[in-house]
Structure 1
């Protein structure tokens, strides 16, 4: 029974570590798809990027999570189209 539990824990730890290896963090906007870069330039031209998380999945699907210095969080899909915008206490830009 102990061997079974240890094997399950080892598999879970390996899967977690493997999933983390697919994530990449950067602050360079050029790592985003062109559509995402254009959206940021149009609606948040002066905002500085705090972090970009590039989340690669096993089936070649990639999601992008962008966090700006002012606290705004924007999520993009594989094609660079925004899926979520959270401006915290600020107003979301009118065009969105």
Structure 2
């Protein structure tokens, strides 16, 4: 009986300890190569200020205030400009052209990938839903 109780106590301790330290700060060098390349391509003047790893995903904060979430394989999942401009080059050219044609005076402040499509927030409070081929699937005012 005491062996079972001891084993249960050890298991509970391991579970509570692992969830308490879910986010680990890691060196920028531990990011996947394509994630580092993406950052340097999209934000060539920004420095990586902080990189965290959580269950194989990475959250990167840049010196310009932007935050990028990467999947374990180094593909970006979301970009939050924190109300700073996200370059159109972060998107496929067809999706970027759709945004430029629909709202020529707006800039991107947040992008999220959703099932191969993109949810894009603009500085004019519009939220666009665009396929990777550039088709505008919908839009709404996001106040």
**CA distance 1:15–1:74, shift in 2 (3 Å):** same
8 Å CA contact retained: 2:28, 2:50: no
1:90 aligned to which of 84, 88, 92 = 84
Q: Normalising to structure 1: TM-score of the pair? A: 0.71
State the Cα deviation string for residues 24-73 of structure 1 (Å, max 9, x = none): 203x32110011011011011211112100112xxxxx100001122100
Is 2:62 the partner of 1:68? yes
**Which structure features the higher share of strand residues?**
2
Which structure would you say has the larger Rg?
A: 2
1:25 and 2:19 are equivalent in the alignment: no
Q: Say which SS state the counterpart of residue 89 (structure 2) adopts.
A: coil
Q: Deviations for 1:53-96, whole angstroms, at most 9, x for unmatched residues?
A: 0112xxxxx10000112210000001100000000121111112
Q: Which residue of 2 aligns with 1:40?
A: 39
Superposed CA RMSD: 2.2
Return the TM-score normalized by structure 2. Answer: 0.50
Unaligned runs of 5+ in 2: 1-11, 91-143
Mind listing any 5+ residue stretches in structure 1 that lack a counterpart?
1-10, 57-61
Aligned residue number for residue 49 of structure 2:
50
